[in-house]
Amino acid sequence: MQKTIFSGVKPTGKPHIGNYFGAMKQFVALQNGRSDPDASAGVNYFMIADYHALNLIQNAKEMRELSLDVAIDFLAIGLDPKKSIIFKQSDVPEHTELTWIFDTITTVPYLKRAHAYKDALAKSGEESINVGTFNYPMLMASDILLYDTDIVPVGQDQKQHIESARDTAEKFNRIFGGSTSLTTGEIFKLPEAYILKDVETVPGTDGRKMSKSYDNTISLFASDDEIEKAVMSIVTDSKAKYPENVFYIHKLFRPTKELDKIYEENKGKYKVVKEILIEDLKNFIRPLRERKGEIAKDLGYVNKVLEEGKEKAKLVASKKMRQVKKAIGVI
């Protein structure tokens, strides 16, 4: 059966290996039909979530550069515009239009239960949380639901947002599904999160979740110097059998069995195992970095990919929006 895949990345800074192993690697695998054989013939959408990023990036030059950079990154990791629709969220106004409609069927307490909101609340207090951050799950529900998405490959931190998209789809279908003679039954499909257990939360150099906002990342396109610096800064715990944070990141590159042997042989020698990890990271990152460099030389091509993605995404989104508008009775 054909399946539709949808996911996005916010242009808020350099992507890191947590983004890659937690989500972006699955984008490519699903695109190529490797992770889910059923999905091979479906449509794949990969979005640069610039309106989501606007909650954080409020500088035009930065926004432009970071957005283009995500497009380059998508191509560098192996997303193929012949197989996938790569587009910018702001290029398809239906996303924000549908968000408003979802706002009208969603309660404030429901959104207050979102982890992202609770985290922001704990960090900075209600007064400094903007409405965009509060409303984030509704924009994300619109992103996913506009395209009749089946599968959303993401990291664990996004699980609740996919559940919000499902809840919102169910609620909309219940309220408006059979309400006019023009539309019957379901308008929105219920999406499912696709989260790989082993990499659902990749830890950063300090052992917390790797995240752009914690300054604990290993960048996906890091230079050799940056790799060395990041790995040497990984916090080690002398009480554990192995230096856990190093081991976990290392597991992304070698099978556990092989690592057990290496770490057993080098017990207590943190510098040695870190050096092995540095080599593995360099070997993994170098070709990606070179590919990114090549793609960045031809921005005309990158912009053309985005232009084509925009047209394709718009076609689907505007059709769905017409259906929604009929269902709510504005046309």
Q: Which stretch binds ligand ADP (CB under 6 A): 96-104, 167-175, 206-214, 253-261?
A: 206-214
Phi, psi for 144 (deg, rounded to 5): -75, -45
Of residues 99 and 217, the one with the C-beta less far from ligand ADP: 217
Contact letters (x/-) for ligand ADP, 157-186, by CB under 6 A?
Answer: xx----------------------------
- The rounded distance, in Å, linking the Cα atoms of 112 and 328 is 26
Residue 168 buriedness (CB in 10 A; 0-12 / 13-18 / 19+)? buried
Residue 226 neighbours by CB under 8 Å, 6+ apart: 219
Phi, psi for 152 (deg, rounded to 5): -120, 100
Other beta carbons within 10 Å of 60 = 8
Query: Using CB under 6 A, which of 139, 169, 202, 317 touches ligand ADP?
Result: 202
Query: Pairing mode, if any, of strands 44-48 and 151-153?
Result: unpaired
Of residues 53 and 306, the one with the C-beta less far from ligand ADP: 53
- The rounded distance, in Å, linking the Cα atoms of 11 and 67 is 5
Q: Which stretch binds ligand ADP (CB under 6 A): 58-66, 172-180, 209-217, 308-316?
A: 209-217
- The rounded distance, in Å, linking the Cα atoms of 59 and 264 is 49
Query: Using CB under 6 A, which of 3, 18, 98, 150 touches ligand ADP?
Result: 18
Site size toward ligand ADP, by CB under 6 A: 18
Query: Using CB under 6 A, which of 3, 6, 19, 259 touches ligand ADP?
Result: 19
- Give the up-direction half-sphere exposure of residue 250: CA atoms within 13 A in the CB hemisphere: 26
Of residues 154 and 187, the one with the C-beta less far from ligand ADP: 154
We find the least distance from the C-beta atom of residue 324 to ligand ADP, in angstroms, to be: 26
Query: Using CB under 6 A, which of 88, 95, 166, 209 touches ligand ADP?
Result: 209
Positions touching ligand ADP (CB under 6 A) are 9-10, 12, 18-19, 22-23, 154-155, 157-158, 199, 201-202, 209-212
